[in-house]
Amino acid sequence: MRFSTLSWALMALAAFVIYCQAAEKRDPGQCPRCPSGIPQTAPPPGDFAFYFLVRQWPNEFCYKNQGCSTIPDPEAGFTLHGLWPNLDNACQKDYPEHCSQSGGFDTFDVQSVDQATLDDMERNWPSYTSANECFWSHEWDCHGSCSGLSQQEYFQGVLNLHSQYNISAALAAKNILPSSTPVSTSDFLDALTSDFGAAPLLYCQQGGGQDFINEIFMCFTKDLRAVDCSEVCRVHPCEPRGSQMCKDTLTYKLGPVRSKAEKPCTDSFRSCRPKSGTCAD
Ligand SMILES: *[C@@H]1O[C@H](CO)[C@@H](O)[C@H](O)[C@H]1NC(C)=O
């Protein structure tokens, strides 16, 4: 019997599935990432398994990214990165993107959200590297458009979650304040878990042998109930570029921040992930 190309492709796919399942078994808590790059067309809006709510600690983001064009306001604390519909399929691309069905990149439309929402976004969802609308367009097209929500519902809903699950306040309640002295990662995690009622994922960037908090991912069901990420996360989420899960201790500190010229809002913002096929912002 002659093996057709299709048979070989099916065998390769089966091997890949087995590989992914084995990877999950090895380290379920760490949500291992399967190799990405399987071509897939965007599902219709609303076709996903759960959400990641991603917040960033701008002081670290701006330091490690060799500077920011907008200097973070220390009073604003953690700021929003986005709310990302995520697939539950360990062996495929882990999030849907470009779901607007508009035939192209669907930009943020300032007319589509009310002024109160816009003001709140300016404060709690700023871009540190480009114009805010460029960042919001990227988040909308690459993630929000797949939520099945309108722009008003999406942006306002994300802001509501951000204030309801207030990272700085939860940490401060347990006396964890920005400081250059490292804290135990489990204390940091416990402070958030007890306040939020669900365990998030903590991402750090390394520098001089230390781990610096960079981004915090919370997990939500489609109807926005907070859940432990270990319940829903079968693949490794999109790691902030250059980050890894925090090790035993982490540093949560202010500055220093380097300043840098604003990036123009070019086509690179329209690409939802870098060429390598791994997750982007
Ligand atoms: C988080 O809580 C602090 C007070 O601890 C407050 O200043 C800040 O505005 C709150 N952030 C949001 C987004 O509600």
What pLDDT, on the 0 to 100 scale, is given for residue 98? 82
> Is the peptide bond prior to 72 cis by the omega test (within 30 degrees of 0)?
no
Distances (CA, A) of 191 to 66, 241, 275: 30, 25, 37
Indicate which residue's Cα is closest to atom 13 of ligand 1. Answer: 163
Question: What averages of pLDDT result for each successive group of 10 residues across the chain (281 residues)?
Answer: 56 49 39 40 76 91 79 88 81 70 77 96 94 93 91 97 98 96 97 97 89 94 92 67 86 86 81 54 47
What number of other Cβ atoms are within 10 A of residue 167's Cβ?
22
What pLDDT, on the 0 to 100 scale, is given for residue 202? 94
Ligand 1 mutation target, pool 163, 167, 196, 216, most atoms within 8 A of CB: 163
Distances (CA, A) of 41 to 50, 101, 197: 19, 11, 35
Please report where in the chains the tokens 């003001």 appear, as a residue: 119
What pLDDT, on the 0 to 100 scale, is given for residue 122? 96
Q: Which residues pair with 243 in a beta bridge?
A: 205
What pLDDT, on the 0 to 100 scale, is given for residue 43? 61
The ranges assigned to domains in the chain are 41-270
Domain 41-270 belongs to what topology? Ribonuclease Rh; Chain A (3.90.730)
Indicate which residue's Cα is closest to atom 9 of ligand 1. Answer: 76
Q: What is the tens place of the pLDDT at every residue in 25-72?
A: 333 333 444 444 433 455 678 888 899 999 999 888 788 666 888 888
What pLDDT, on the 0 to 100 scale, is given for residue 230? 83
What pLDDT, on the 0 to 100 scale, is given for residue 106? 81
Two tokens, residue 67: 């500077």
Atom of ligand 1 nearest to the CA of 172: 5
Buried b (16+ CB within 10 A) or exposed e, 96-121: bbbbbeeeebbbbeeeebeeebeebb
Distance CA 73, CA 62 (A): 12
Q: What is the tens place of the pLDDT at every residue in 66-104?
A: 688 888 888 889 999 999 998 875 444 577 888 876 666
What lines the ligand 1 site, CB under 6 Å? 124, 162-163, 166, 168-169, 172
Two tokens, residue 117: 């929402």
